Amino acid sequence: MSLSLPVVKPSDITPYPNGWYVVAFSHQLRPGDVQPLKAFGRELVLFRDTDGVVHMADGHCPHFGAHLGHGGRVEGNCIRCPFHGWQFAAESGECVHIPNGDRPPKLARLRKWDVTEKCNMVLVWYHDRGAAPTWEVDQLPEFDEPGWSDWSTDEWVVKAKLQDLAENDADVAHSPAMHSLTNELPRASEPEIDGAIFSWNLKITPSLQQFGLPASLKVPSGVAISVTTRRYGLAFAWIRATLPLVSSLRYRAQTIACTLPIDEDSVYLRLAHRTRRTPFRPFTKQMLKFYHQQFHQTVDEDIPVWENKIYLDRPAASRSDAGVLRFRKWARQFYSNPVPEKRASGS
Beta pairing class for 87-89 and 95-97: antiparallel
The candidate with the shortest Cα–Cα distance to 289, out of 247, 335, 251, is: 251
Rounded to the nearest whole angstrom, what is the least distance from the CB of residue 63 to ligand FES in the complex? 3
Which residue lies nearer to ligand FES by CB, 98 or 173?
98
Rounded to the nearest whole angstrom, what is the least distance from the CB of residue 175 to Fe ion in the complex? 6
Rounded to the nearest whole angstrom, what is the least distance from the CB of residue 33 to ligand FES in the complex? 19
The candidate with the shortest Cα–Cα distance to 131, out of 43, 17, 259, 55, is: 17
Q: Which does 81 bind (CB under 5 to 8 A by kind): Fe ion, ligand FES, none?
A: ligand FES
Q: Which does 302 bind (CB under 5 to 8 A by kind): ligand FES, Fe ion, none?
A: Fe ion
* Cα→Cα distances 143→150, 174, 249, Å: 13, 30, 22
Give the whole-angstrom CA distance, residue 90 versus residue 59: 13
- Residue choice 302, 306, 321, 332 for contact with Fe ion (CB under 5 A): 302
Which residue lies nearer to ligand FES by CB, 75 or 313?
75
Q: Which does 86 bind (CB under 5 to 8 A by kind): ligand FES, Fe ion, none?
A: ligand FES
Which residue lies nearer to ligand FES by CB, 88 or 125?
88
The answer for residues whose C-beta is within 8 angstroms of residue 181's C-beta and 6 or more apart is: 175, 204, 206, 207, 210, 294, 297, 298
Beta pairing class for 152-158 and 34-39: unpaired
Q: Which does 211 bind (CB under 5 to 8 A by kind): ligand FES, Fe ion, none?
A: none
DSSP state string for 311-343: --SS----GGGHHHHHHHHHHGGGSSSPPPGGG
Contact range with Fe ion by CB under 5 A, out of 68-76, 205-213, 266-274, 295-303? 295-303
Q: Is 164 in the site for Fe ion (CB under 5 A)?
A: no
The candidate with the shortest Cα–Cα distance to 60, out of 47, 75, 43, is: 43
Q: Is 167 in the site for Fe ion (CB under 5 A)?
A: no
Q: Coil, helix or strand for 21?
A: strand
Q: Please, which residues bridge with residue 154 across strands? A: 271
Which residue lies nearer to ligand FES by CB, 37 or 269?
37
> Cβ(170)–Cβ(327) under 8 Å?
yes
Beta pairing class for 236-244 and 225-232: antiparallel
Contact range with Fe ion by CB under 5 A, out of 47-55, 118-126, 161-169, 326-334? 161-169
Q: Which does 13 bind (CB under 5 to 8 A by kind): ligand FES, Fe ion, none?
A: none
Backbone angles phi, psi at 284, to 5 degrees: -60, -45
Rounded to the nearest whole angstrom, what is the least distance from the CB of residue 64 to ligand FES in the complex? 4
Which residues of the chain form contacts with ligand FES (CB under 6 A)?
A: 61, 63-66, 81, 83-84, 86
Q: Please, which residues bridge with residue 182 across strands? A: 206
Q: Which does 232 bind (CB under 5 to 8 A by kind): ligand FES, Fe ion, none?
A: none
Rounded to the nearest whole angstrom, what is the least distance from the CB of residue 94 to ligand FES in the complex? 14
Rounded to the nearest whole angstrom, what is the least distance from the CB of residue 80 to ligand FES in the complex? 8
Q: Which does 83 bind (CB under 5 to 8 A by kind): Fe ion, ligand FES, none?
A: ligand FES
| Interacting residues with Fe ion (CB under 5 A) | 168, 302
